[in-house]
Amino acid sequence: MTLESDWARFTEHDLDEATARIRRLAQILAVRLRALRDDWDADAGEEWSLRAIARHLADATDAYASRPATTKTAAPPRTT
């Protein structure tokens, strides 16, 4: 069952704000990774090294960006 709230309608302003937040987050991540450049290959024990985390993020971003465009879906029901 699809609920009205499942359609996640948002305005152009909402899209602009979400896009800006993602860009700011990417900038913060880049600054932090550059600041820790000397520690990228430091032993992290059982955890991922900073280099492994950065590689994983880059691979995930590439995979997401290369996905085919979404297929068309039925329009949401009209509300009256």
pLDDT, mean of residues 8-16: 86
Q: How far apart are the C-alpha atoms of 38 and 51, rounded to whole Å?
A: 10
pLDDT above 90 (res 6): no
Identify the DSSP state of 62. H
13-66 per-position pLDDT tens digit: 998 999 999 999 999 999 999 999 999 999 999 999 999 999 999 999 888 878
Torsion of CA 7, 10, 11, 16, to 10 degrees: -130
Predicted confidence at residue 16, as pLDDT, reads 92
pLDDT above 90 (res 2): no
Q: What is the pTM of this model?
A: 0.60
**Which residues contact residue 10 at a Cβ distance below 8 angstroms, ignoring those fewer than 6 apart?**
18
Contact 36, 51 (CB under 8 A): no
Domain extent listing, the chain: 10-38+47-65
Label residues 15-30 b or e (16+ Cβ within 10 Å = b). eeeeeeeeeeeeeeee
